[in-house]
Structure formats: structure tokens, C-alpha cells
Amino acid sequence: MNRKILITVILTVFIVALLSGCVDRSESETQITSSSDTQTPAAEEPEGTIRISGAFALYPMMLKWGEEYQKLHPKVKFDISAGGAGKGMADTLGGLVDIGMVSREITPEEEEKGAYWIAITKDAVVPTVNSNNPAVTQLKENGLKRDVFEQIYINGTIKTWGQATGDTGNNDKINVYTRSDAAGAPATWAKYLGNYKQEDLKGVGVNGDPGLAEAVRQDKLGIGYNNINFAYDPNTRKPVEGIEIIPLDLNGNGKIDTDEDFYGTLDELVEAIGNDQFPSPPARDLNLVTKGKPTGIVDDFIKWTLTDGQKFISESGYIVLPQDQINEGIEKVD
């Protein structure tokens, strides 16, 4: 009897130990499996070079965006050059760059060739004059009407500063300058003057925004036009030394009223554009263009400019687009 009890006890201890071992092994296996399931693959760090060319209007903004994006993604490099909206579009459609900067509307013909565009920010084109022009005080007080600019740049019927300002004693000839390269600024300026095209503008052709600003700065009887970030000094926020902005006499009453007077600093003008006090055109949207829908690091960078990158727009002298327009852009690249 005692022997049976002893055997029963031994068997019971053996079975309990065996079961205990099975449970422990099962729990251990469960823990490993669980740990493996919860691991998250590391995000792939963006890497490569993004090539960009095009509008002088967007060039300063793109330099800032490239610098800030590279701080977040050091393995992404940028090759950014300016040369006009026409070059940006041609380079993009020709596969020479990944992104084109285009400071005008995209045509249906360009879309048929594969141009995929996203509006990204906004700026404006402003008329300029040499700060030593004999009529500069009169111009700043009274501005010029749209049709006067049209007669200077399109019809050629106004040839002297006296004819432009109404001062019969001023016979100084107006030296007219325009852009020689295909660009958004002359296209926008021509559209403001009466829905004309760049090729309709008269004047001596000068290449690039910096070149046009310098031509007027060197000629006291010269008149030109520039994107606002080349008409204003980014440090002083005032017009570039040697040139002044000609105010637009929007209501045509022959003087610049308080609600038309916003050219003193870049910040005043940017606020007026944002509030639609300054007309469109010559204010206009600025676009990024890719050949087909963007992918990879190009797509990631454009999405960033539409989201986190927007916080750098105002400090750079540009205008933030309405949120619904930004949302449309995000949907296009999603």
C-alpha cells in the first residue's frame, strides 16, 4: 500500500513538472513571436540630387527651401539655377531637370507635352525707374495709369517723361527696357497692360531679372519692370539702391491715394498683394512643374514645400496662397 502511494506521488510530481515545463516553453515562444510582430521597419532616408531651373521670380525662395530641406535630409542635394520661366519649362519637358520654376500660367499645349504643375506661392511684377530721374518725385506722388504704361510699352505713342507725367516742360526721352529671355515677368507685365504677350513689348531687351534692374539703375531716363524680390533689397526691405518703384494709379484720378500707397517697403507691398489691394496681374501665382506626376524624393520635396515649407514664405518676401489652393496642390501630388 505504501509503495503504491509512493509511486503515485512520484508520477504526480513528474507530470506536474512536465506540464510546468511545457507552459514555460509556450510562454517563452509567445513572447518572442509577439516581440517580432511589433518591430517597425526603419523609415528610408531620402537620398539623391534634385535638379531645378527656371524663373528668377522663384529662385530666392527655392534657395531657401533647398537649404531648409537639406537640414532635415542631409543626403539630398540640390542643383538650382535661374534662367527664366521659359528655360525652366523647356528643361523640364526635355528631361534636363527634375523641377521647373515657372512664373506664369501653364498653357494647354505644355500640359499636353506632360507638364504637371502645382501652384506654390505668389508674388508680383512692379514697374521701376531710376532714382535720379528728373520726374521721380512727380511719379511717386501721382503714379502712372495703366493706359500710360500701355502707350509706352505697346503703342509707343508716349515717348517722353513729360508726356507720361503731363509736364509739358519735360522733353526727356523715355528709355524703355524689357526682357530678352522668355520669362514670366514680361508675360505678366504684358498681360496687365491689356492681355498682350511678351513679344508685344517694346524696348531694349535685357537678359534676366538682375540685368533689367541694373539697366534701369544705370540709366536715369530708363523705365523697366522687375519681380519684387529683385526690385527690393532683401536686407533693408526697401527698393534696391538706385531705383524706385512707380506706383500704379489704380483709380485713375491722377494721384496716389492712401489706399494705393504701399510701395515704401517690401513688407508693405507683400501685405497689399495678400489683401488684393495690388491687382492680379501684375501679381501672379508661381508654379513648380514636373514632367508627369512627381515621384520619389522630388515628390517628397514638393509635398514639404506645400506643408512645413510654407512657414518660410513670408519671411522670404513672398505671399502665402489661400489654404484651399494649397490643399489642391497637396491632392495633386498625393
In this predicted structure, the answer to whether residue 302 has a pLDDT above a threshold of 70 is: yes
Helix (H, G, I), strand (E, B) or coil at 296: helix
In this predicted structure, the answer to whether residue 334 has a pLDDT above a threshold of 80 is: yes
What integer best gives the mean pLDDT of the chain? 89
Q: Which domain holds residue 315?
A: 48-123+285-333
Number of Cβ within a 10 Å radius of residue 142? 18
Query: Residue 299 to residues 79, 288, 294, 332: CA-CA distances in angstroms?
Result: 16, 11, 5, 10
Cα 332 to the center of its chain, rounded Å: 17
190 and 196 Cβ atoms separated by less than 8 Å:
yes
pLDDT in the model for residue 46:
84
- Lowest-pLDDT range of 2-6, 103-107, 245-249, 275-279: 2-6
Give the model confidence (pLDDT) of 141-150 as tens digits. 999 999 999 9
pLDDT in the model for residue 3:
56
Residue 10, classified by CB atoms within 10 Å of its CB into exposed (0-12), middle (13-18) or buried (19+), is exposed
Cell numbers for 210, please give them: 538682375
238 and 143 in one domain? yes
| For residues 2-29, average pLDDT | 48
pLDDT in the model for residue 45:
84
116 and 85 in one domain? yes
What are all long-range contacts of 78-82, with beta carbons under 8 Å and residues at least 24 apart? 78/49, 78/50, 78/52, 79/49, 79/50, 79/51, 79/52, 80/52, 80/53, 81/52, 81/53, 82/53, 82/54, 82/55, 82/56, 82/208, 82/209
Which run of H or E residues covers position 82?
A: strand 76-82
Q: Examine residue 203 and state whether it is found in any structural domain, yes or no.
A: yes
236 and 185 in one domain? yes
pLDDT in the model for residue 266:
93
pLDDT in the model for residue 307:
96
pLDDT in the model for residue 10:
54
227 and 123 Cβ atoms separated by less than 8 Å:
yes
Q: Examine residue 154 and state whether it is found in any structural domain, yes or no.
A: yes
184 and 233 in one domain? yes
320 and 313 Cβ atoms separated by less than 8 Å:
yes
Give the model confidence (pLDDT) of 166-176 as tens digits. 998 999 999 99
Q: Examine residue 302 and state whether it is found in any structural domain, yes or no.
A: yes
109 and 148 in one domain? no
| For residues 3-23, average pLDDT | 50
Cell numbers for 47, please give them: 537620398
Give the model confidence (pLDDT) of 231-252 as tens digits. 999 899 999 999 999 999 999 9
Confidence class of residue 44 from pLDDT cuts 50, 70 and 90?
confident
User: What do you get for the CA distance between the two ends of the chain, in Å?
Assistant: 82
Confidence class of residue 331 from pLDDT cuts 50, 70 and 90?
very high
In this predicted structure, the answer to whether residue 20 has a pLDDT above a threshold of 60 is: no
Measured CA to CA, the distance from residue 261 to residue 312 in angstroms comes to: 26
313 and 249 in one domain? no
Q: Of 275, 297, 319, which one is at a domain's C-terminal end?
A: 275
Give the model confidence (pLDDT) of 170-225 as tens digits. 999 999 999 999 899 999 999 999 999 999 999 999 999 999 999 999 999 999 99
In this predicted structure, the answer to whether residue 268 has a pLDDT above a threshold of 80 is: yes
For 199, which DSSP code?
Answer: G
- Total number of domains constituting the chain: 2
Q: Examine residue 15 and state whether it is found in any structural domain, yes or no.
A: no
128 and 201 in one domain? yes
129 and 118 in one domain? no
153 and 248 in one domain? yes
State what percent of residues in the chain have pLDDT above 70: 87
pLDDT in the model for residue 36:
44
Q: Which residues face 48 on adjacent strands?
A: 76
Q: Examine residue 36 and state whether it is found in any structural domain, yes or no.
A: no
The residue that leads in pLDDT, 21 or 300, is 300
In this predicted structure, the answer to whether residue 103 has a pLDDT above a threshold of 70 is: yes
